[in-house]
Amino acid sequence: MANIKHVGQLNASGRRCVVVFRELPGEPENCLIVDTDALHDWMHDDMINAVESPGAQQSSNFYEYAQRTMFTDGSNMLQALHSKRLLAKHPTSNVTMTPNGSVSVPLNELNTIINEQTGGKPAIAPEVDPLDLNVAGKTTAPATTAPAAQPVVIDDTSIAQGMLAQADTFEAEAKSLREQAFEMSPSLKPKRGRPAKSKESA
């Protein structure tokens, strides 16, 4: 089974989570996570699909991928998680990473290993402030930071487009499931046309 980065669980509750920021600037003992068990179904599916994507798996930190990814409703993933107050601060000692069904690594130990391998390189880019998710220096360059707030504005059209995209996905999955079911048991496949008897009685 392939290892999946950025996923884990909270030690105190056992709830599953995605680690968005594995440590905070000046607070390496703390991290920001998303409790995936608390998300709406569509948002949960979007998060898991994002985490499992090649781009996220190639990133050392999930926030790097989330800040350039959209939810199906058209909102920026990282900004939406922040605006909806879904980013929760936890001690790294309270999070255990679970890359597969048989391996578990405490996040604080993982961070120590990564820091040793990278020579103490910060886990978060200097221009990112995980506490307010704005670009550093925003007071001196408002024009460059203003567009960042736009993706979190959700109108009816964006929501409808997201719903249609989900509907297309569900329809394709339903069709595939039906085909697999009929292959397993052809007798369940509905017969085409109506019996001649019903036509005569009509």
User: For 87-141, how does the pLDDT look when each residue is reduced to its tens digit (9 = 90+)?
Assistant: 999 999 999 999 887 889 999 999 999 888 877 666 666 556 665 654 333 322 2
Structural domains in the chain (count): 1
Query: Could you tell me if residue 31 is inside a domain?
Result: yes
* Per-residue pLDDT reduced to its tens digit, 63-77: 999 999 999 999 999
Cα dist. 14→1, 77, 100 in Å?
Answer: 22, 24, 15
The predicted structure's pLDDT at residue 144: 30
Answer yes or no: is 185 within a domain: no
176 domain-assigned: no
Task: Give mean pLDDT, residues 191-199.
Answer: 58
Report the candidate in 100, 115, 87 with the shortest Cα–Cα distance to residue 17.
87
Residue 2 within any structural domain of the chain: no
Stretch among 35-39, 65-69, 92-96, 154-158 having the lowest mean pLDDT: 154-158
Range of the domain at 133: 7-154
180 in a domain, yes or no?
A: no
Q: Angle at Cα 152 formed by Cα 82 and Cα 92, nearest 5°?
A: 15
State yes or no: pLDDT of 201 exceeds 80.
Answer: no
Look at residue 26 and tell me if it is in a domain: yes
Q: Give pLDDT, residue 167.
A: 63
Tell me the pLDDT band of 7, cut-offs 50, 70 and 90. very high
Whether residue 80 contacts residue 153, with contact meaning beta carbons closer than 8 Å, is answered with: no
* Closest listed residue to residue 92, CA positions, set 119, 68, 123, 64: 123
Residue 190 located in a structural domain: no
> Does residue 112 lie within any of the structural domains?
yes
